[in-house]
């Protein structure tokens, strides 16, 4: 009887000890019930900035876990529509067909502008070309202009580099540079264009190939690439991309960067997005983008 009583008392003591440990973890904010996970996916242009935002926000909000992945704007938007992520990152606006797909799935997307960006046109430093108009860039990427000598450079074939078609940067460049903002235009990238899976792929090829031309978000341009001055037309001015030229409107290839949610956000997601549009803007310039304010 005494042995049985001892076992019961030992078991009860163990249960109380476990309960106390669990309660202590919850009070300390480390228990699984106290942590909210925010899934954030999409634009490769935004991924480094989104990672920096997430790291800083989690440092001051230990009860939140933010998971950030890339994959392209289209991938993030599709995941938001399907309900598998809390926030979709996009370097372009949602397309009409994406909004229709969301509404068919019972989702009303809400758009947040979180930063601004310039798309830089880049070449190898050996390239003699210093400036181009939007029309000249369009002619290059549609295959109308195929040799650098046609633009005052050396007698060398032009090698075209682009992001892949699921990239928001690709879509923006197609609509606003190749098609010059004409919604009726059916112009497409030349079939000779090499589609690169990442910004790093474009940078690597530009470094190795003096005949190549590419484009990318300003925050991804490295010192071993040469940025081209761009003008809206031949009258100029020809302008390099920078925070100043985006803000004053003189650089002609600039855009907002977005985050989308499935309906109006609440709780930690709302707090996170509010912070990004306010205190989080301090990180934007550091990563080569243009802040909202």
pLDDT value of residue 293: 81
Query: Is the separation of the CB atoms in 157 and 293 below 8 Å?
Result: no
Mean predicted confidence (pLDDT) in 111-119: 97
Q: What confidence tier does 252 reach under pLDDT thresholds 50, 70, 90?
A: very high
The domains located in the chain, with CATH, are: 35-115+257-286 (3.40.190.10), 117-254 (3.40.190.10)
Q: What confidence tier does 248 reach under pLDDT thresholds 50, 70, 90?
A: very high
Residue with tokens 């797909």: 101
Secondary structure of 123-152 as H, E, C letters: ECCCCCCCEEEHHHHHHHHCCCCCEHHHHC
Mean predicted confidence (pLDDT) in 237-249: 94
SS3 content of the chain, % helix, strand, coil (to 5): 45, 25, 35
Query: Is the separation of the CB atoms in 66 and 38 below 8 Å?
Result: yes
Query: Rounded to an integer, what is the distance from CA 109 to the centroid of its chain?
Result: 18
Task: Tell me which residue of 155, 137, 289, 153 sits closest to 213, measured CA to CA.
Answer: 137
Q: pLDDT digit string (tens) for 4-39? A: 444 434 443 443 344 444 333 433 344 445 688 999
Task: Tell me which residue of 80, 57, 54 sits closest to 68, measured CA to CA.
Answer: 54
CA 32 – CA 22 distance, rounded (Å): 10
Mean predicted confidence (pLDDT) in 151-177: 96
Structure pTM?
A: 0.80
């Amino acid at each position: 009887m005494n042995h049985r009583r001892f076992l019961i008392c030992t078991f009860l003591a163990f249960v109380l000890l476990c309960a106390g440990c669990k309660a202590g973890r919850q009070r300390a904010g480390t228990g699984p019930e106290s942590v909210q996970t925010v899934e954030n996916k999409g634009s490769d242009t935004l991924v480094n900035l989104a990672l920096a935002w997430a790291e800083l926000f989690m440092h001051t909000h230990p009860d939140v876990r933010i998971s950030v992945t890339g994959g392209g704007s289209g991938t993030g938007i599709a995941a938001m529509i399907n309900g598998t992520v809390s926030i979709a990152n996009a370097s372009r606006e949602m397309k009409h067909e994406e909004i229709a797909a969301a509404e068919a799935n019972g989702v009303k997307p809400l758009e947040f502008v979180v930063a601004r960006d310039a798309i830089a046109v880049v070449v190898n430093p050996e390239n003699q070309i210093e400036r181009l108009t939007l029309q000249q860039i369009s002619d290059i990427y549609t295959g109308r202009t195929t040799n650098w000598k046609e633009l005052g450079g050396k007698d060398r074939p032009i090698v075209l580099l682009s992001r892949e078609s699921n990239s928001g940067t690709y879509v923006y460049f197609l609509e606003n540079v190749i098609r010059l903002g004409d919604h009726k235009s059916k112009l497409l990238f030349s079939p000779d264009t090499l589609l690169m899976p990442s910004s790093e792929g474009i940078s690597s090829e530009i470094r190795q190939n003096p005949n190549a031309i590419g484009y990318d978000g300003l925050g991804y341009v490295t010192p071993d690439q040469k940025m081209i001055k761009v003008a809206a037309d031949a009258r100029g001015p020809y302008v390099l991309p920078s925070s100043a030229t985006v803000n004053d409107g003189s650089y002609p290839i600039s855009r907002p960067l977005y985050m989308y949610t499935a309906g109006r956000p609440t709780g930690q997601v709302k707090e996170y997005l509010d912070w990004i549009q306010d205190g989080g803007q301090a990180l934007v310039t550091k990563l080569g983008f243009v802040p909202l304010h």
